[in-house]
């Protein structure tokens, strides 16, 4: 079964700015996520600790990270991307709250769609 992966525009634009090698590494990780889904674990995926969204995870390819979560309809939503090289823990202090806000927005939009179509 292939899992659906939705890439937010900001993440997609960031990815297109990567050099070919980094882009290919992160694309391979995304391909694995599409193939395996929520069961994909370390070293490619790890759970973010301390988030108010317990299902917030990071996709890992070298020092590149993409924060994502599976929504209620089991789609992986890629929320925030960056390279934490030289920033290690500081990167998360900015990226995690941004990912949480974006996921909140995603969930609110999804809830609106569901109420519009009677589900």
Residues in CB range of 73: below 8 A, 6 or more apart: 110
83 pLDDT band, cuts 50/70/90, is confident
Q: How confident is the model over 34-82, as pLDDT tens digits?
A: 999 889 988 999 999 989 999 999 999 988 999 999 999 899 999 999 9
Query: Can you give the residue ranges of every domain in the chain?
Result: 5-116
Q: Does domain 5-116 have CATH number 3.30.2310.20?
A: yes
Which pLDDT score, from 0 to 100, does residue 29 have?
A: 94
Which pLDDT score, from 0 to 100, does residue 117 have?
A: 56
pTM score of the predicted model = 0.89
Which pLDDT score, from 0 to 100, does residue 69 have?
A: 96
CB atoms closer than 10 angstroms to residue 38: 13
Residues in CB range of 7: below 8 A, 6 or more apart: 15, 30, 78
Specify whether the CB–CB gap between 18 and 33 falls below 8 A: no
Which tokens in the block code for residue 56?
A: 């917030």
3-state secondary structure of 50: coil
Q: Would you say residue 115 has pLDDT above 70?
A: no
């Amino acid at each position: 079964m292939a899992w659906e992966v939705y890439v937010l525009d900001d993440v997609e634009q960031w990815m297109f700015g990567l050099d070919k090698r980094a882009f290919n590494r992160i694309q391979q990780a995304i391909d694995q996520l599409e193939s395996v889904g929520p069961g994909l674990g370390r070293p490619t995926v790890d759970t973010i600790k301390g988030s108010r969204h317990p299902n917030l995870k990071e996709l890992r390819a070298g020092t590149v990270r993409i924060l994502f979560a599976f929504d209620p309809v089991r789609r992986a939503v890629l929320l925030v991307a960056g390279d934490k090289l030289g920033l290690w823990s500081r990167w998360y202090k900015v990226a995690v709250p941004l990912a949480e806000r974006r996921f909140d927005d995603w969930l609110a939009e999804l809830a609106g769609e569901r109420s519009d179509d009677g589900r």
